[in-house]
């Protein structure tokens, strides 16, 4: 084990305790392969599942695993009309498992996420019976202020490029606190506690994943 791997493991142990105090269940996976195995335990034929847009989920192979599973799948990307999209979103709100990543995690166990339309954070806050958050240890920061700075300056610019949105951060490589039509920083959500015990489950991964 390298010093960095040991550091991630030690930090994860501390975070798991902090999450527990906030009624959030947390686990540590040293590799993305281990994280995928943990996540796939929730993919049973009788379960309904969905997910939010996430490079992390793609990088560990979870989206492919979901699509290859026997679960009932609600994929918003499959909608062909606005009416179909609304219908799928209503089903996502009642699904058994919702998978997502977190833009940032604070040392005291708070999840910080910034969304455009807000569909991802809406599911985190309320609706699905279980929310499974998978995040690389590179997402861990000191506090909420550092978390918001991280999302705006490190996650939003590459996401704007990936989505081909015309925002100032796409060109500048940093946040311009914009109000542009394509702004993807419309909803800022800080999850400091799960009201329903262990509804939110976090899989911390000892690798650098996502933006």
* Radius of gyration for the chain, computed over Cα atoms and rounded to the nearest angstrom: 17
Instruction: Say what the pTM is.
Output: 0.95
In 124-179, DSSP assigns E strands to 130-136, 140-141
Say which residues have a Cβ less than 8 Å from residue 41's Cβ, sequence separation at least 6. none
pLDDT per position as a tens digit, 3-25: 999 999 999 999 999 999 999 99
* Full DSSP string of 99-133: EE--SEEETTS-EEEEESS-HHHHHHHSSSSEEEE
Alpha-carbon distance 27 to 36, whole Å? 12
What's the gap between Cα 156 and its chain centre? 14
User: Residue 167: pLDDT band by 50, 70, 90 thresholds?
Assistant: very high
Instruction: Please state the rounded mean pLDDT for residues 124-133.
Output: 98
């Amino acid at each position: 084990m390298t010093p960095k791997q040991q550091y991630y493991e030690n930090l994860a142990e501390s975070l798991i305790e902090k999450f527990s105090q906030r009624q959030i269940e947390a686990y540590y996976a040293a590799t993305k392969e281990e994280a995928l195995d943990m996540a796939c335990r929730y993919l049973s034929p009788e379960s309904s599942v969905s997910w939010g847009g996430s490079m992390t989920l793609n990088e560990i192979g979870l989206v492919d695993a979901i699509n290859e599973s026997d679960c009932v799948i609600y994929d918003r990307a499959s909608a062909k009309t606005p009416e179909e999209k609304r219908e799928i979103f209503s089903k996502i709100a009642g699904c058994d498992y919702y998978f997502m990543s977190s833009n940032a995690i604070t040392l005291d166990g708070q999840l910080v996420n910034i969304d455009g339309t807000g569909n991802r954070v809406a599911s985190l806050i309320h609706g699905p019976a279980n929310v499974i958050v998978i995040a690389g240890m590179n997402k861990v920061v000191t506090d909420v202020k550092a978390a918001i700075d991280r999302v705006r300056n490190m996650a939003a610019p590459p996401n704007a490029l990936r989505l081909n949105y015309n925002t100032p951060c796409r060109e500048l490589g940093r946040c311009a606190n914009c109000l542009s039509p394509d702004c993807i920083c419309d909803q800022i959500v800080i999850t400091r506690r799960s009201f329903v015990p262990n509804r939110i489950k976090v899989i911390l991964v000892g690798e650098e994943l996502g933006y």
